[in-house]
Structure 1
Amino acid sequence: MYRVLVVDDDVAVRYMLKRYKGWESFGFVLAGEASDGREALRKLDKEPFDVVISDIKMPGMDGIELLSELRNNGNDICVLFLSTHSDFSYAKQGIRLGVFDYLTKPFSDETLGEALDRVKVYLDEKKKQKALVNIYNKNALESSQVYYSKNDEKKLVSVILSGSLEAINLGDRLFEKMAQFTEGDAKKLAILMENILLEVDEGIYKAIPWIKNLKNRPSNKSFEGMDEKELKERFIDHISGWVRLVVKFELHQSDSLMRKICEYVINHVEEDIKIENIANELYVSRDYIGKLFKQKAGYNLSEYITKVKMEHAKYLISKGEYKNYEISEILGYKKADYFSQVFKSYVGCTPSEYRKNAGFDF
């Protein structure tokens, strides 16, 4: 059964779709519902869906913004829009973004069934193509193993974790090596580079398991459909993103106690972190870890705690789920006004201004 997510601010429309009796006969199950695009994104992030049926015009994040966000994130999920005759200008935007089909309100059970039939044919074909692609990918990866060594990936991971920009040069050489091997076949090159980045990510997670607690780490998006120039940019951006993160959060420090300090702060970011608590956890004095951190990093441990908290605050704002005072509470600040002051000092604007400028206003 293909899983369907319905997105509409009109409760009556959602109720009507839930009552539709033909879902299973066409091979679908209505597995979730949302009242706007932002809520839909949260559900899509937590659960797998095959189809989104969304109203075009909604308060908050509308259907066009939802589709745009999905495509920008590399999500090619099948989307159907519910529209009225007056939504023509929106419809044109939907076509440009790759909407699958439209249903004009009000629509009959017969019309909905015909649309689902078309979607079923499309998804079945997509599933067949994916199976063929998996076979192709497997063959491409197996043939590449004789051309480059796993040591290339291990060395790249090692240099990234050292915080050295040499990782970018190393990545550049590895890319050129793979481009030469694939002889202009962008599709095969995309498969190889995507797989290499997956292995690199796994190597980093293996070395520093708790790094997964950092929410703004590089994400491995699909390379499908890119030409060689775009593939190289995406590959190098991913590597440089890791290097920036490693340096920003002091993860390149070789001192084991420094690593433990950073680990504690990152793992307890949603608490009221006291330097005394870190010292007690690591069985050393408060003064000692303060001096050690300043010596190794060049700035105070209290500033590091603030940095980790403010970066996490930016992530929480981007999720669009919390008010500013709620984020303040999550991060362990007793007063929202103080949190706002600290945020402005670190970022250069208030949480509300950051939310608005970044397009996360709700």
Structure 2
Amino acid sequence: MQKIAVLTSGGDAPGMNAAVRAAVRRAAYHGIQMYGVYHGYEGLMYGDIQEMTLGSVGDIIHRGGTILYSARSEEFKTEVGQQKAVDQLNRRGIEGLIVIGGDGSFRGAQKMSEKGVRTIGIPGTIDNDIPCTDFTIGFDTALNTVVEAIDKIRDTATSHERTYIIEVMGRDAGDIALWAGLAAGAESILIPEAENDIEDIVERLESGHRRGKKHTIIIVAEGVGSANYYADEIKRLTGLETRVTVLGHIQRGGSPTAFDRMLASRMGAAAVDLLIEGKRDRMVGIRNNVIVDVDFQEALSQKHQLDLSIYQLARTLSI
């Protein structure tokens, strides 16, 4: 193994830069040339590839986003596009590829592996929705961003004695909503993995008001529907005045937390080590604070499982 490339793909996540830094420096430690692929698979197809040195990744461990940029590519989903990407690597003598991203990025990585490129994936997504790993890079930072926002909104909710409905990211996974809701003491949490009964939400809200509670925080994962819909329904059923906040892309940005920097550094270095060992078609993960690697097919064939015991805990603590 003499040359390795690294790219970031899909939605950006805080900590991606830390993973890139770790991969580049681990490779340099072993005397391996590292190349950065800019603009994801799109850049890979069209040769937007540059050699990276120790200086290339200086002062980036604390930066959010990705210095390699990210882009979605319909062309790469085709056989012709994938072969273009393989040809670009072969032309430069690059033997291994590290892909940092989510499940869509991993499916692309799997295609590259099928075409003979040794490929290793690193899970980087704020949704924490990748199977076979306890955490993905970026989740902890997004979680803390959401909790901080909820804390600030609660101040206003308390001052004006109102119900606030806060919509967070999570189209298919409710991890952000659930963890943030529990950490911030939300009265109701709506996630794709659990039944969301508007009557139950109203009953919990009215129960709180009967005992003198003047404000309520409800967290909605975007995958269960619009926060505005639930706001309208609550007002229709109770007459209570509601306010909606959609946090949006603020959840993706910002300097990564210490946890995400540590996680990204461990995973980035592990990806290089796996390539040196001759492994391919693998994803790096973390389980019980131990770095592991699993076959792409194993990871992609499973469905992310949210710990519903946390959901039940949140319900019992928010009575």
Q: Same fold (TM over 0.5)?
A: no
Which structure carries more helix by proportion?
1
Query: In which range does the TM-score fall when normalised by the shorter chain?
Result: under 0.3
TM-score with structure 2 setting the length: 0.27
Larger Rg: 1
TM-score with structure 1 setting the length: 0.24
Larger relative contact order (CA 8 Å, sep ≥ 6): 2
